[in-house]
Amino acid sequence: MNVERQTVRSQLREHKRLTLYSIIGTVVHFLLLLYFIFDEQEPLIYYNIVALSCWLYCFYFLRKKDYYRIAILTSLVMLIQLNLVTILYGTESGVLMGLWPLACIFVINTRTRMVAGTVFASVCLISFILLSLYAPVSTEDGFIPGSLEIFILVTGAIMVSAVMSIKSAFRARRNKMIYIANHDTLTGLKNRRFFTTFIAHRQDVIRREGTRFCLALGDIDHFKQINDQHGHQMGDAVLVAIAACFREISAQSDVICRWGGEEFLIFIPESDISMAYPVLEAIREVISDQNIDGINTTISFGVVESDGSEALDELFKAADLLLYKAKQSGRNRVEYE
Partner 1 sequence: MNRLLSSTIPEMFKGFSEPPRVISEEDYPDFYGIVVSALNGILVNLILLIIFVIEGGYFLASLSITGIIFWLTAMRFAYSGHFSAAIFVGMFEMMFHVGVVVSVIGLAYGGQLILWASIAYAAFSYHKNKMITRIVSYACLIEMAALYAFVPQFTEFTAFENYREFIFVLLTLCSAIPLMTVLMFIKSVQIRDRKQLQNHANFDPLTGLFNRGFFDTLLEYDRDTLSNGGGPFCVCLADIDYFKKVNDEYGHDVGDEVLIEVANIISGNLRKSDAVCRWGGEEFAIILRRCDMSDGPQVIQKIRKTIASKVLSSAEIKVTMSFGLILAEQDEATDALIKRADRLLYTAKENGRNQLVSG
Member of 38, 114, 210, 291 binding partner 1 (CB under 8 A): 114
Q: Mark whether 281 is an active-site residue.
A: no
Please state whether beta strands 334-336 and 263-268 pair in parallel, antiparallel, or not at all (unpaired): unpaired
Residues between 234 and 263 that touch partner 1 (CB under 8 A): 235, 259-262
Does 158 engage in binding with partner 1 (CB under 8 A)?
A: no
Residues 205 and 296: their CA atoms lie apart, in Å, by 40
List alpha helices for 190-272, DSSP H: 192-209, 223-230, 232-249
Segment (H or E) for 309:
none
Residues between 17 and 76 that touch partner 1 (CB under 8 A): none
Identify which of residues 202 and 317 has a Cβ nearer to partner 1 in the complex. 317
Identify which of residues 60 and 170 has a Cβ nearer to partner 1 in the complex. 170
* Bridge partner list, 305: 214
Of 162-170, 241-249, 284-292, 329-337, the window that binds partner 1 (rule: CB under 8 A) is 162-170
Residues 188 and 185: their CA atoms lie apart, in Å, by 6
Residues 304 and 316: their CA atoms lie apart, in Å, by 9
Does 200 engage in binding with partner 1 (CB under 8 A)?
A: no
Q: How far is the CB of 10 from partner 1 (least distance, A)?
A: 10
Identify which of residues 228 and 270 has a Cβ nearer to partner 1 in the complex. 228
Of 23-31, 153-161, 242-250, 285-293, the window that binds partner 1 (rule: CB under 8 A) is 153-161
**Residue from 209, 248, 262, 335 carrying the catalytic annotation:** 262
Member of 139, 156, 230, 292 binding partner 1 (CB under 8 A): 156
Nearest to 35 by CA among 46, 45, 23, 21: 45
First to last CA, the chain: 41
Burial class (CB in 10 A: 0-12, 13-18, 19+), 171: exposed
Does 119 engage in binding with partner 1 (CB under 8 A)?
A: no
Does 121 engage in binding with partner 1 (CB under 8 A)?
A: yes
Q: Is 99 helix (H, G, I), strand (E, B) or coil?
A: helix
Q: How far is the CB of 29 from partner 1 (least distance, A)?
A: 24
Segment (H or E) for 268:
strand 263-268
Residues between 85 and 104 that touch partner 1 (CB under 8 A): 94, 100, 103-104
Q: How far is the CB of 149 from partner 1 (least distance, A)?
A: 4
Does 117 engage in binding with partner 1 (CB under 8 A)?
A: yes
Nearest to 324 by CA among 234, 185, 167, 217: 217
Backbone φ and ψ for 39, nearest 5 degrees, come out as -90, -5
Question: How wide is the angle at C-alpha 223 spanned by C-alphas 221 and 224, nearest 5°?
Answer: 130
Q: Which parts of this chain interact with partner 1 (CB under 8 A)?
A: 1, 3-4, 7, 94, 100, 103-104, 107-110, 114, 117-118, 121, 125, 128-129, 132-133, 137, 148-149, 152-153, 156-157, 159-160, 163-164, 166-168, 170, 173-174, 176-178, 180, 227-228, 231-232, 235, 259-262, 313, 317, 320, 324
Catalytic residues: 262
